[in-house]
A and B are shown apart, each in its own frame.
Chain A
């Protein structure tokens, strides 16, 4: 038993690690792509890594292709059944801020962050792959007229974006799975991608 103890502890530790899936929940830093000599190829690889955040349910659920936000890791329709309205902030009497506060509600379990609202339809992400997402993100006609610097500012500092890493608990008291990495790490990836020329990945557009 004395010899089995450390082995058991090791096995339990590995099991816990596997459950938390630390590799998948982490975000590779820009430096880890230094081995890719070609700048365009490096930028593309960095964007693919960053797209793991953009396409994560905590981010994509508020970038839906339809008029209703989505919820959960399976992108199910928002309950109660709300609509984006003309300003992406809901309809009269059922605005986003009718329920969502500027911070998570621990007891009611309603998520919250400043200026809670949907991304416009032109910024729908659900169903896109990294290339289509990249092209959309860079297109001022679809990204709210943002320059690359403005995109970086939004991604790296916007508090609503930051909610993706502090999503609180769901309706059933279970911790929502946060987006990979941290907001700072995503900001570092996007800064590096821009510095390298902001090339989009090459896979077919969906």
Chain B
């Protein structure tokens, strides 16, 4: 039995320790906000926070999360009003929207470490989050807006 805290709630999972965390979140805990993209840590659609650090849930064995705190897009803010989420809405960032949960979770991890990131820092930290719609400029603008930088 693997015990982890997901979005503040302790969960007990009777699963294979090597099961990707993404599978546990989506298929066992029914938290489908985190998306499956490539399954090989190449696209960033599955980013969640593990003890405050961004990780790619598709390649993270659920056993690594044992005893740790996992935050998904559903748990980023209790009312959906994290500064990044508000900036995302204000600027109409998403197009198809599939990558957005991963983008926001990566951006949130960045802002927790660098509250006022430069454009270069935003680009570096989000370089592994692909957006097939090409919304990169709006994504960067929204991160800056959430950070309160001009």
A residues near B, CB below 8 A? 79-83, 91-95, 97-99, 101, 105, 107-110, 171
Q: Contact between A94 and B55 (Cβ–Cβ < 8 Å)?
A: no
B residues near A, CB below 8 A? 20, 39-44, 47, 53-56, 58-61, 64, 106-107, 109-110, 112-114, 121, 124-128, 130
Q: A79-B42, A109-B40 are in contact. Are A92 and B125 (CB under 8 A)?
A: yes
Q: Which residues of B contact A109 (CB under 8 A)?
A: 40
CA separation between A101 and B62, bound complex, in Å? 11
Q: Which residues of B contact A92 (CB under 8 A)?
A: 54, 109-110, 112-114, 121, 125
Q: Which residues of A contact B54 (CB under 8 A)?
A: 92-95, 98
Q: Which residues of B contact A108 (CB under 8 A)?
A: 20, 39-41, 58-59
Q: What is the predominant secondary structure among interface residues of chain B facing chain A?
A: mixed
Q: What is the predominant secondary structure among interface residues of chain A facing chain B?
A: loop
| Nearest CB of chain B from residue A117's CB, rounded to whole Å | 14
| Nearest CB of chain A from residue B67's CB, rounded to whole Å | 15
Contact check: which of A83, A93, A101, A171 meets B106 at CB < 8 Å?
A93
* Chain B residue nearest to A68 in the complex (CB): B127
Q: Which residues of B contact A99 (CB under 8 A)?
A: 41, 55-56, 59, 128
Q: Contact between A94 and B41 (Cβ–Cβ < 8 Å)?
A: no
Contact check: which of B58, B59, B110, B130 meets A93 at CB < 8 Å?
B110
